[in-house]
Chain A
């Protein structure tokens, strides 16, 4: 059992402290916007923010985030108005859409740390996140759009 702030709300997550955060978010907190893709920190589909920084929630336990603040896609903005989400829609990034919440959380974290990344920094900064449909060109363009308006 751990006390965690999730999307700004104090929550108590039942179950053992070694419960993987991804599954606690999905099965216990009902936040299904965070996706399972690999369970091994290899694909980024489960990316959330822990104290504002991108983390792969499949590699973190509930115990690891006790007392910390976790933001999921549901908490990134109230209505999908975060600049990254807006850019994503503007450029019609998704195909199947499954990896996109992880991509968006990664991009939001990248821009929070580095508001004006170079193209190389975007390419490398998004490389932990796999998109099997192959939306990378639009993902990179959307990160650039969110950062520069271009």
Chain B
């Protein structure tokens, strides 16, 4: 999201990609009758066994790299070192991408070592780890670099043995030919001096030869270190002479510390410095919130000192932000016509001529990411340079922001990436890193900034809060003839640019304008809502409230019509087809997650397929005992299709989820084991979102502060059996990501199941854990 946000504001490559996606569709329509792939033929090229396709990766800032010298090295002892240039926050990309390269290359996984890249996009290409893009954008470049090294090893062996390259075979970590044999290590030096072959000259492995790709047998690289406590996260970095800082930040965004009394803080043994930090006023991007920092010899003293500060905070223009009244404002806006983003047919006429209309509203509170590792970063500024160690999703973005904050050249800043103890979008925002860098510069010593859990929940870049109002027009037969969906939510854009009160195309593209329903008259609208806190992206982003609204509504509509949920959901999606955005009134900046639409179309057949699969596996339609119910939901996000069938059982008034079936279509499943783990995690996080996740504001300040009032699902009540059903596909069906798409259908599936168990309809997130 990060660089895309910046580019969205500047109106450059992201919009170019969107326009290209759109143009391709238009051209396809213009050239009706020609091959569907015609428009992208210019991009495509083919090597033996591999047809390259275009992804949004080419439109990302700094793009993709294909040079194996950047990503691979081989030691004389045969150790193959592969660079992980994406951040590891739990999805497994640090393992899965090198695994793809290793398999294509012929490396034995036991001989592979992974090193984490520093933030350097000029070298590695784009490193923004978000948007479920790691596998989607990089599987091709990883295969290409693996194939390149395999050819280089073969060519080196052929030269060495004086045989033709065609007579040489690359096996597992060895090369044979003409009666000779050599290990990778033996050929390493000569191989890496070989020219890197052109793509067209490469031959790729047949899928039947894959040993690791698609198999799900490779454990995550850090598994042993994680289970022994050796894995290094942000706060685990210790430098000689390093001090630890805890910061008292303004309870309301934009408030300055008017005055403060540091005497009690300074009296805490170990406290050495108290340093004021200037407040930032929205839109401030990732500039720290400001406040007062307490710097101590250890973390305990820093936190105790921080808590002992007495601070008088000044006023902020956002001091009136109170969730209860804000929700009513959003509800009022949702009932009014909004800006029309997508119009198909004549919705006004459909509603005017309807035999019946039916509408409902769905809301969601703000959410904080609450990843288990709160923000923490270490910075050392010395001799005009800055070195940082931090758990960041966007290491190159952090590098640029730190450089700007320190008024240094980007070249003088180095960002080392630790493991991330969860990210969920929070760690794309590097305010905590900038804090460490500013303090280190000011005090002339290495500084670790440690956020407490209270800091994390009170000073987040929050998931937006929203009201989604959906209305349908029905004819005499109960058929939907018109659809109006007004989405009202403060926008992420308000963190980056002066707030217009309106969402922008990236948010609109998440389950709003891209609604895949076959209804002749649609009006997709956006009402106004001004931001009064820092809004940021949270795993799955706007797809969460959209799936919540649309899928809950589909179930409500079924009940209203006295029909079956599955039948109505399938009927709304309609016939098997790929949506035709220009014909269907999509806005010209229709986003499709930054992809070229022809490569990743909205395919209703795949959408219906996962819904039917989840329903079938979950036993949809069976008679349930009293107090139990099933619920369905399906949603396409990040170009992956996921459906959920949740089984809810009410036990003494408490909502429990004994099992949930997750059916997904992510194209070619590159690492099924981590795909399953992401679906299991999505089910758990989805249940937390459904039951508990709500940060509310009073007079500008967040009310919740820790896991007692911002609760998480725990092992005594979680989706105990998560069954993951992966739709199999060959490599030719483009792989897409799984980090985010699992979450959106979970809450509505649970909500719909609660309805079928109890007759009570859930419309507001969080719904609480009792009914």
A interface with B by C-beta (< 8 Å):
15-16, 19-20, 23-24, 26-28, 30-40, 42-43, 45, 72-74, 77, 79-80, 85, 88-89, 92, 94-101, 104, 122-124, 126-140
B236 interfacial contact with A, CB 8 Å: yes
B422 to chain A, nearest CB (A): 5
Flag if B422 contacts A133 (CB, 8 Å): yes
Q: Are B718 and A136 in contact (CB under 8 A)?
A: yes
> Beyond A92-B223, A129-B715, is A38–B707 a contact (Cβ under 8 Å)?
yes
Chain A residues near B499: list those with CB within 8 A. Answer: none
Nearest opposing residue in chain B for A106, CB measure: B715
Find chain A residues with CB under 8 A from B236 CB: 26, 32
**A35 neighbours in B (Cβ, 8 Å):** 233, 235, 372-373, 421
A20 touching B708 by the CB < 8 A rule?
no
13 extra interface residue pairs, beta carbon distance < 8 Å, beyond A100-B227, A123-B716, A137-B721:
A23-B303, A33-B228, A33-B229, A37-B373, A96-B88, A97-B419, A98-B372, A98-B419, A100-B226, A123-B720, A132-B422, A134-B680, A135-B681
Residues of A contacting B89 in the complex (Cβ-Cβ under 8 angstroms): 96
In whole angstroms, how far apart are the Cα atoms of A38 and B706 in the complex? 7
**In contact, B92 and A95 (Cβ under 8 angstroms):** yes
Interface pair B721/A80, CB less than 8 Å apart: no
Docked-complex contact A130 and B228, CB < 8 angstroms: no
Chain B 510-562 interface residues, beta-carbon cutoff 8 Å to A? none
Query: Which of B373, B419, B719 has the most chain A CB atoms inside 10 A of its CB?
Result: B373
Q: Which residues of B contact A98 (CB under 8 A)?
A: 233, 371-373, 419, 421-422
Cβ contact of A89, chosen from B223, B673, B682, B708, cutoff 8 A:
B223
Complex alpha-carbon distance, A131 and B226, angstroms: 14
With both chains docked as a complex, state the minimum distance between the C-beta of B84 and any C-beta of chain A, in angstroms. 15
* Per-residue interface assignment for chain B, residues 279 to 309, with 1 indicating a CB less than 8 Å from any chain A CB and 0 otherwise: 0000000000000000000111001000000
Our pick among A20, A40, A85, A131 for the contact of B372 (Cβ within 8 Å) is A131
Q: Shortest Cβ distance from A70 into chain B, in angstroms?
A: 14
Q: Given A100-B226, A104-B227, are A95 and B707 neighbors across the interface (CB < 8 Å)?
A: no
Contacting residue for A133 out of B90, B224, B230, B238, CB 8 A: B90
- Inter-subunit contact A92/B220 (CB<8 Å): yes
Chain B 365-401 near chain A by CB (<8 Å), digits 1 or 0: 0000011111000000000000000000000000000
- Shortest CB-to-CB span from B432 to chain A, Å, is 14
- The answer to whether the Cβ of B712 comes within 8 Å of any Cβ in the partner chain is yes
Determine whether B677 belongs to the interface, using a CB cutoff of 8 Å to chain A.
Answer: yes
CB-based contact A89/B372 at 8 Å: no
Q: Please indicate the chain B residues that have their CB under 8 angstroms from the CB of A122 in the complex.
A: 715
Closest-by-CB residue of A relative to B684 is: A134
How far is B420's CA from A88's CA once the two chains are assembled, in angstroms? 19
The 4 closest A-B pairs by CB, nearest first: A33-B229, A134-B684, A98-B421, A96-B90
Within 8 A of A (CB), among B701-738: 706-708, 712-716, 718-722
8 contacts between A and B (CB under 8 A): A27-B299, A37-B372, A39-B706, A73-B229, A89-B219, A96-B423, A129-B714, A140-B720
Cβ distance A103 to chain B, nearest Cβ, rounded Å: 9
Do A134 and B685 touch across chains, with their CB atoms under 8 A apart? yes
Taken residue by residue from 450 to 489, chain B's Cβ proximity to chain A (1 for < 8 Å, 0 otherwise) reads as 1011100000000000000000000000000000000000
The answer to whether B230 touches A92, judged by C-beta atoms less than 8 angstroms apart, is no
Q: Nearest-CB distance from B198 to chain A (Å)?
A: 38
In the assembled complex, B255 has its CB within 8 A of some CB on chain A = no
Residues of A within 8 A of B680 (CB): 134-135, 137-138
For B718, what are the chain A residues with a Cβ–Cβ distance below 8 Å? 134, 136-137
Q: Which of B219, B238, B422, B450 contacts A30 (CB 8 A)?
A: B238
B269 at the interface (CB under 8 A from A): yes
Of A26, A38, A74, A134, which one neighbours B683 at CB under 8 angstroms?
A: A134
Max count, chain B CB within 10 A of own CB: residue among A40, A42, A132, A138: A132
CA A38 – CA B372 in complex, angstroms?
Answer: 8
Task: Decide if B270 is an interface residue (CB 8 Å cutoff).
Answer: yes
CB-based nearest B residue for A45: B372
Q: Which residue of A lies closest to B376 (CB)?
A: A36
Do B229 and A101 touch across chains, with their CB atoms under 8 A apart?
yes
Contact partner of A43 (CB less than 8 A), chosen from B230, B684, B707, is B707
**When the two chains form the complex, which single residue of A73, A94, A132, A138 contacts B712, counting CB atoms closer than 8 Å?**
A132
Find chain A residues with CB under 8 A from B25 CB.
Answer: none
> Across the interface, do A80 and B422 meet the contact criterion of CB distance under 8 Å?
no
Q: Which of A32, A100, A134 has the most CB of B within 10 A?
A: A134
Asked if A94 and B223 make an inter-chain contact with CB atoms under 8 angstroms apart, the answer reads: yes
A32–B378 CA distance with the chains assembled, in angstroms: 15
Please, how many angstroms separate the alpha-carbon atoms of A96 and B34 in the complex? 47
Selected contact of B715 from candidates A32, A34, A139, CB within 8 Å: A139
Cα–Cα distance between A134 and B683 once the two chains are bound (Å): 8
**With a CB–CB cut-off of 8 A, which chain B residues contact A124?**
715-716
What B residues does A31 contact at CB under 8 A? Answer: 229
A143 to chain B, nearest CB (A): 9
Residue B55 lies at the interface, judged by CB distance under 8 Å to chain A: no
User: Among A92, A132, A140, which residue has its beta carbon within 8 angstroms of that of B370?
Assistant: A132
Residue from A85, A89, A96 in contact with B420 in the complex, judged by beta carbons closer than 8 Å: A96
Asked if B148 is an interface residue, CB under 8 A from chain A, the answer is no
Tell me, in angstroms, the Cα distance from A64 to B568 when the chains sit together.
62
Q: A15-B269, A94-B227, A96-B420 are in contact. Are A27 and B371 (CB under 8 A)?
A: no
Inter-chain CA distance A31–B420, complex, in Å, is 18
* A residues near B603, Cβ cutoff 8 Å: none
Question: Is there a chain A Cβ closer than 8 Å to B244's Cβ?
Answer: yes
B599 interfacial by beta-carbon distance below 8 Å: no
- Judged by a CB distance under 8 angstroms, whether B605 is at the interface is no
Name B656-696 residues within 8 Å CB distance of A: 673, 677-678, 680-685
* Least Cβ–Cβ distance between A51 and chain B, in angstroms: 20
Which residue in chain B gives the minimum CB-CB distance to A134? B684
Produce 1/0 per residue, B50-72, CB < 8 A to A: 00000000000000000000000
Nearest B residue to A119 via CB reads B720
| B222: Cβ under 8 A from any A Cβ | yes
- Please provide the chain B residues from 392 to 430 with a CB less than 8 Å away from any CB of chain A in the complex: 419-424
- Assembly CA distance A79 to B718 (angstroms): 32
Asked whether any CB of chain A lies closer than 8 Å to the CB of B231, the reply is yes
Residues of B within 8 A of A45 (CB): 372
Measured CB to CB, the closest approach of chain A to B340, in angstroms, equals: 38
Taking CB atoms, residues of chain B closer than 8 Å to A126 are 715
Provided the pairs A26-B299, A33-B230 are in contact, do residues A96 and B419 lie with their beta carbons within 8 angstroms?
yes
Whether B453 contacts A39 by the Cβ 8 Å rule is yes
Asked whether, in the complex, the Cβ of A92 is within 8 Å of the Cβ of B300, the reply is no
Residues in A whose Cβ lies below 8 Å from that of B706 = 38-40, 42
| Cβ–Cβ contact B226 & A24, under 8 A | no
In the complex, B91 has a CB within 8 A of chain A: yes
With A36-B374, A98-B233, A98-B373 already in contact, the answer to whether A135 and B228 are too (CB < 8 A) is no
B685 adjacent to A92 (CB under 8 Å): no
Query: Which chain A positions have C-beta within 8 A of B372?
Result: 35, 37, 43, 45, 96, 98-99, 130-133
- Bound together, the chains give a CA A101 to CA B370 distance in angstroms of 18
Q: B residues within 8 A CB of A135?
A: 677, 680-681, 684
Q: Which residues of A have CB within 8 Å of B224?
A: 80, 89
| Max chain B C-beta neighbours (<10 A), residue from A96, A101, A129 | A96
In the bound assembly, the distance between CA atoms of A24 and B298 in angstroms comes to 8
**CA separation between A139 and B681, bound complex, in Å?**
12
Kindly report which residue of chain A lies nearest to residue B373, judged by CB atoms.
A98
Task: List which B67-108 residues lie within 8 A (CB) of chain A.
Answer: 88-92
Q: Taking the nearest CB of chain A, how far is it from the CB of B714, in angstroms?
A: 5
Contact B673 A92 (CB under 8 A): yes
A28 touching B235, Cβ below 8 Å: no
Which residues in A have their C-beta under 8 angstroms from that of B716? 123-124, 127
B424 surroundings in chain A (CB, below 8 A)? 132
Which of B229, B231, B450, B454 is the one whose CB lies under 8 Å from A36?
A: B450
